[in-house]
Amino acid sequence: MAGHSKWANIQHRKGRQDKIRAKLFSKMSKEITVAAKMGDPDPDKNPRLRLAVKEAKSNSVPKDVIDRAIKKSQGGDAENYEEIRYEGYGPNGIALVVEAMTDNRNRTASNVRSYFTKAGGDLGQSGSVSFMFDRVGEIMYPLSAGDADTVMLAAIEAGADDVETDEEGHWIYCADTALNEVSTALEAALGESETAKLIWKPQAPTEITDLETAQKLMKLIDNLEDDDDVQNVTGNFDLSEAVAAQL
């Protein structure tokens, strides 16, 4: 089995370190509010909301913040957020997918374009790079959930398509439309997962072995992630062991 992306591992650890940041709480609260507004405010009756709440809890977002975000969706003062996907190329032609949630499309587009331009990249049209990725569900379990064979068997029985195991944990992939169903089935077999979310999975990641390129790329990604309107950033690259160790 292929190892999980070293960039994804760094992001995973970074997310853990940054979990107390108000910005992260804010982005997760926004997703919860939008999910609750689009469907039922009861997570048990709304798969998207259930997954959003689960992700928030895995990042230690307090229960009162989660409850407040759900309540906000039912009030007349809830902002009307629009979900937008931007696609472009960063340093050395690395493809990036940027998912945003905004109440001002012009502001967000201007900011995202500026980040790409300053990094020597190029913001493209919709569809310009997403064909290099698969839209899938990703469910992560810690190594303590069981050995690779046990998790693989449980994943197959739950309807998953693939499993990758590395030093960080077990990463289970399924069709995007089956995430809630597979996640629920896995919970019955392995207990509650650490995370369960939709991602853009690169089909053939480019390995970066040059530190300068990696630093420029990480700066661009950091700038994008620091923007209040940006929810997620995904790239079709992996970092070599040597470069990952120096970042």
User: Which pLDDT tens digit goes with each residue over 115-163?
Assistant: 999 999 999 998 999 999 999 999 999 999 999 999 999 999 999 999 9
Q: Give the strand pairing for 237-239 and 133-141.
A: unpaired
pLDDT at residue 41 above 90? no
Question: Residue 147: how many CB atoms within 10 A of its CB?
Answer: 10
Spatial distance between the Cα atoms of 110 and 218, rounded to a whole number of angstroms: 20
Element (H, E) at 218: helix 211-226
User: Residue 4: its pLDDT value, please?
Assistant: 64
User: Residue 13: its pLDDT value, please?
Assistant: 63
Q: Which of 143, 119, 127 is nearest to 215 (CA)?
A: 119
**Burial class of residue 88 in the structure, from the number of CB atoms within 10 Å of its CB (0-12 exposed, 13-18 middle, 19+ buried):** buried
Q: Which of 164, 149, 156, 160 is nearest to 205 (CA)?
A: 164
Spatial distance between the Cα atoms of 167 and 231, rounded to a whole number of angstroms: 26
pLDDT band at 247 (very low <50, low <70, confident <90, very high): confident
b/e code 30-65 from CB counts within 10 Å (16+ = b): bbbbbbbbebeeebeebbbbbbbbbbbebbebeeee
**Higher pLDDT, residue 41 or 5:** 41
- Quick one: angle between helices 148-158 and 179-190, nearest 10? 130
pLDDT band at 38 (very low <50, low <70, confident <90, very high): confident
pLDDT band at 113 (very low <50, low <70, confident <90, very high): very high
Q: Angle 7-8-11 (CA atoms, 0-180°, nearest 5)?
A: 90
User: Residue 17: its pLDDT value, please?
Assistant: 59
Q: Where are the beta strands (DSSP E) in 24-167?
A: 82-89, 95-102, 122-123, 133-141, 162-166
**Higher pLDDT, residue 34 or 21:** 34
User: Residue 10: its pLDDT value, please?
Assistant: 67
Spatial distance between the Cα atoms of 164 and 185, rounded to a whole number of angstroms: 18
User: Residue 19: its pLDDT value, please?
Assistant: 52
